[in-house]
Structure formats: C-alpha cells, structure tokens
C-alpha cells in the first residue's frame, strides 16, 4: 500500500467558526481583516494505492486548537476585532479592546 498525504493550512477563508468579523467602524475609523486573521484550519487529502494498483482519495480537516479558538468556542461567538489593516487609530483601539476583553475580563 502506498499513501501520499497533502496538507494545506488555511485561515479564515471559507471556514470561520462563528462567522468572521470582516470589518469594524468606530469613532477611531475603520479596521478590516486580512486573510491571515481568523481560525486556522488544516486540510488533508489522502491518496492511497492498494495492492491491485487502484487509487482512492479521502479528505479530512481540523481546526488548529489554539487558545483563541478555545475562547471563541467557550463564548460561542467571535471574540476578536480585526486589527491588521485600516485606520491607525482604529487598529490601535482594536488591539486594546481585544487585549482588555479577552485577557482582563472573564
């Protein structure tokens, strides 16, 4: 038996856990997500060849078990504002909000 495994890591894309917060607007301006924000997911394709020479393909995926994923699962909602792209003041405000609401508050 021969097995070939192809693994791909993806973020946000089409697999946000609770629906991603794509953008925010506040008195500080706007912030937007980019493709590296969000829940990470590993995708795997398994190509298996049996003794008769025929191939089969199977697929599996799993979320990366990070602290942020555990927090969002426990709260059953997205818990982080997008904080990479946008107006400078809005990005700083999002970082502060994310830290306070997810570190200092229960």
pLDDT score of 14: 56
pLDDT score of 92: 92
Find the distance separating the first CA and the last CA of the chain, reported in whole Å. Answer: 51
pLDDT score of 89: 92
H or E segment at 27?
none
Task: Tell me the domain boundaries of the chain.
Answer: 2-104
pLDDT score of 106: 62
Cβ–Cβ < 8 Å for 81, 21: yes
- Mean pLDDT, contiguous 10-residue spans, the chain (106 residues): 67 63 86 75 86 89 85 86 88 89 75
pLDDT score of 5: 72
């Amino acid at each position: 038996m021969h097995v070939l495994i192809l693994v791909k890591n993806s973020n946000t894309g089409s697999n946000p856990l609770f629906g991603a917060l794509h953008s925010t607007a506040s008195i500080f301006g706007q912030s937007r997500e980019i493709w590296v924000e969000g829940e990470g997911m590993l995708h795997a394709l398994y190509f298996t060849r049996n003794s008769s020479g025929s191939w089969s393909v199977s697929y599996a995926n799993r979320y990366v078990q990070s602290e942020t994923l555990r927090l969002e699962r426990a709260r059953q909602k997205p818990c982080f504002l997008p904080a990479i792209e946008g107006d400078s003041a809005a990005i700083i405000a999002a970082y502060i909000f994310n830290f306070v609401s997810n570190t200092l508050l229960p």
